[in-house]
Amino acid sequence: MKINPGLLKLELFCKGIKIDVSCDLSNDARSILRTRGGLGSGLELILPGGLYVNIPIEEHFVAKTPYVLLKNNSGYFIKEGNEVICKVKLPPKPKFYDKKTSSGKIMSRIGVMQGTYLGIYSARICEFWRMTPSVNCKFCSVGLNVGRTEEYEKSIEDVLETIKAAREEEKITFIHFNTGYLFGEELDMLEPYIKRVKKETGLLVGVQCPPNSNLSRYNHLKEIGVDHISFCLEVNNPKRFEEICPGKYKHIGQNKYWQAIEYCIKIFGRGRVAGEIIAGLEDSHDTINAIENFAKIGAVSTVCIFRPCLGTALENSNPPEPQDMIPVFKRMYEVCLENKIPIGIAPNIKVSLVLLPEEGKYFLQGLNKNFLVSEIKLNMLKFFYRAYFNAKIFFNKK
Ligand code: SF4
């Protein structure tokens, strides 16, 4: 049976998977660790084509999924109903997860693998969770995780030691730092981490924080070596934005996101700035509208599928239907090529939490000759950038 890996990734995001008793996840899989916003709360799998996916397994809607993960002598596979649809791989649990930093903290409580990169929420709890009444985003689980499943305090040394262990074992090339809302102090808090990481590892660094009112701060971020920056708009429709993200609505506002994205594209360049949006919390036309507008100004879209994580205000809601999401991901790919935005260039970055822009090609029907030319150019760019990056890392290690 020929499967479409992009479509399967989408189906699994939207429907989840049941775990058969034949599976031995405690020995064979990465631990299920809910950290940061909660999207990584599922099981990490590698689908045919090398697509990483983090699949919901414990949320209410999984009870109705047609997908089951099973194990036999030749490994793991997925069944849909009674039909085996494909073999899959489980990325093994990283050994560094159980190691301790020199201050005695368990490394999996400092950073977690999300696909092939390390994600670190290095700040205190987002202030939206601490306000009275709380105004946190309704899908978010940061306030349920920090201090419980992840460390409340993560020193620079803790972070650096965890990164070095992940680089050694998992050959990571990218570290993604994010914070919640900290009254505008987000970049002050992050910059010392970034400087040390860049100086001591040379790895690629991505930053995701609420937009800063002082836009010139982004010039400084570029100077200290940040490679990628993203802004979580989450919801494009203004009314839904107010309902779903009350803190962002009251204390930041949608305009600041667009201003920061536009400014950062001038500083970082096209394709190195992303606007994040959650599909399934608003009409898909609104999501597509955001994707098109991001692309017009040179930004890539990072589109997550809404996951009603346990314990959050939306835990009883449903994720979107895969059929409704196909036009969203198709458009996500098309607009990048139409607007000549480089995608998929950085080496060894496979993301399990979202469908990457380049994975949107799985939703195209037939061959588009214009896209073929753009794909060839992208592949050439990829080749040269990866050679440059590998040389940089090699000399950094010496
Ligand atoms: S800004 Fe919203 S999504 Fe981000 S950490 Fe705070 S509550 Fe969560």
pLDDT single digits (tens) 199-250: 999 999 999 999 999 999 999 999 999 999 999 999 999 999 999 999 999 9
User: Which run of H or of E encompasses 166?
Assistant: helix 156-170
Contact 32, 43 (CB under 8 A): yes
Nearest 10 degrees: CA dihedral of 369, 324, 336, 170?
Answer: -110
Would you state the torsion angle of the CA atoms of residues 243, 246, 248, 254, taken in this order, to the nearest 10 degrees? Answer: 30
More confident residue, 367 or 196: 196
Mean pLDDT of 315-339: 95
- When pLDDT is cut at 50, 70 and 90, the band that residue 379 belongs to is low
Ligand 1 site residues, Cβ closer than 6 angstroms: 37, 126, 128, 136-137, 140, 142, 180-181, 248
Residue 310 CA to chain centroid, in angstroms?
Answer: 19
Q: Do 83 and 166 belong together in one domain?
A: no
Task: Please identify, among 34, 56, 88, the residue that sits at the C-terminal boundary of a domain.
Answer: 88
pTM of the entire predicted model: 0.90
When pLDDT is cut at 50, 70 and 90, the band that residue 142 belongs to is: confident
Specify if 398 maps to a domain: no
Distance (Å) from CA 349 to ligand 1 centroid: 24
Q: Which of 125, 131, 137 to mutate to test the pocket of ligand 1 (most atoms within 8 A of CB)?
A: 137
Spatial CB neighbours of 242, under 8 Å, sequence gap ≥ 6: 249
Residue 391 lies in a domain: no
- Domain housing 74: 5-88
> Of the candidates 48, 63, 88, which is a domain's last residue?
88
Q: Assess contact for 4 and 11: CB atoms under 8 A.
A: no
Ligand 1 midpoint to CA 136 (Å):
6
Atom of ligand 1 nearest to the CA of 179: 5
The residue out of 66, 88, 110 marking a domain boundary is 88
pLDDT > 70: what percent of the chain? 88
**What is the atom index within ligand 1 of the atom nearest the CA of 127?**
6
Residue 395 lies in a domain: no
Provide the pLDDT for residue 382: 59
Q: Identify whether residues 197 and 120 lie together within a single domain.
A: yes
Mutate to test the pocket of ligand 1, among 41, 126, 254 (most ligand atoms within 8 A of CB): 126
192 with 70, same domain?
A: no
User: Within 13 A of 312's CA, how many CA atoms are on the CB side?
Assistant: 29
Closest residue to atom 4 of ligand 1, CA basis: 180
What is the rounded average pLDDT for all residues in the chain?
90
Judge residue 262's burial from the number of C-beta atoms within 10 Å of its C-beta, 0-12 exposed, 13-18 middle, 19 or more buried: middle
Report in angstroms the alpha-carbon separations of 104 from 63, 158, 161, 175, 197.
39, 9, 11, 22, 20
pLDDT of residue 398: 45
Determine the Cα–Cα distance for residues 329 and 357; give it in Å rounded to an integer: 8
pLDDT tens string 275-294? 999 999 999 999 999 999 99
Could you count the other beta carbons within 10 Å of the beta carbon of residue 53?
Answer: 26
Give the integer Cα–Cα distance in Å for 82 and 47: 19
CA–CA separation, 98 and 106 (whole Å):
6
Adjacent-strand bridge partners of 174? 204
Residues 272 and 244 in one domain: yes
Is residue 118 helix, strand or coil? strand
pLDDT tens-digit profile of 109-118?
A: 999 998 899 9
Pair (368, 296) in one structural domain: yes
Quote the strand ranges of the chain, DSSP E. 18-19, 43-47, 51-55, 67-72, 75-80, 83-88, 112-114, 117-121, 174-178, 204-208, 228-234, 273-279, 300-305
Is the pLDDT reported for residue 176 higher than 90? yes
Supply the pLDDT for residue 140: 93
Query: Does residue 19 belong to any structural domain of this protein?
Result: yes
Residues 177, 207 contacting (CB under 8 angstroms): yes
**Mean pLDDT score, 302-330:** 95
The answer to whether residue 182 is domain-embedded is yes
- The reply to whether 134 and 81 lie within a common domain is no
Answer yes or no: is pLDDT of 385 > 60: no
Where residue 278 sits, what CATH number does that domain have? 3.20.20.70
Phi, psi of 190 (to 5 degrees): -80, -35
209 shares its domain with 327: yes
Distances (CA, A) of 3 to 8, 11, 184, 252: 7, 12, 46, 43
Question: Could you tell me the distance, in angstroms and rounded to a whole number, from the CA of residue 181 to the centre of ligand 1?
Answer: 7
Pocket test for ligand 1, best of 136, 177, 182 (most atoms within 8 A of CB): 136
| Residue indicated by tokens 């993301």 | 351
For atom 1 of ligand 1, the residue with the nearest CA is 180
Q: What is the residue with the minimal CA distance to atom 6 of ligand 1?
A: 180
Residue 200 and residue 69 share a domain: no
Q: State in Å: Cα 13 to ligand 1 middle.
A: 21
Q: How many domains does the chain have?
A: 2
| 200 and 51 assigned to the same domain | no
Residue 84 and residue 99 in one domain: no
**Whole-angstrom Cα distance, residue 317 to residue 155?**
36
- What lies within 8 Å, CB to CB, of 228 at 6+ separation is 174, 204, 205, 206, 207, 268, 272, 273, 274, 346
**One domain, residues 79 and 107:** no
pLDDT tens by residue, 36-78: 655 668 999 999 999 999 999 999 999 999 999 999 999 999 9
Tell me if 102 is assigned to some domain. Answer: yes
Q: Rounded to an integer, what distance in angstroms lies between the CA atom of residue 356 and that of residue 349?
A: 10
Burial of 28 (0-12, 13-18, 19+ CB in 10 A): middle
User: For residue 229, how far is its CA from the centre of ligand 1 (angstroms)?
Assistant: 16
Amino acid at 245: C
Q: How far is the CA of 302 from the centre of ligand 1 (A)?
A: 16
* 173 plus 68 within the same structural domain: no
Average pLDDT over residues 85-101: 95
Share of the chain above pLDDT 90, in %: 76
> What are the residues whose beta carbons fall under 8 Å from the beta carbon of 114, sequence distance 6 or more?
40, 44, 54, 176, 351, 352, 353
If one compares 73 and 145, the residue with the highest pLDDT of the two is 73
Is residue 353 a part of any domain in this protein?
yes
Q: Examine residue 43 and state whether it is found in any structural domain, yes or no.
A: yes
Q: Residue 102's pLDDT is what?
A: 97
- What is residue 397's predicted lDDT score, i.e. its pLDDT? 53
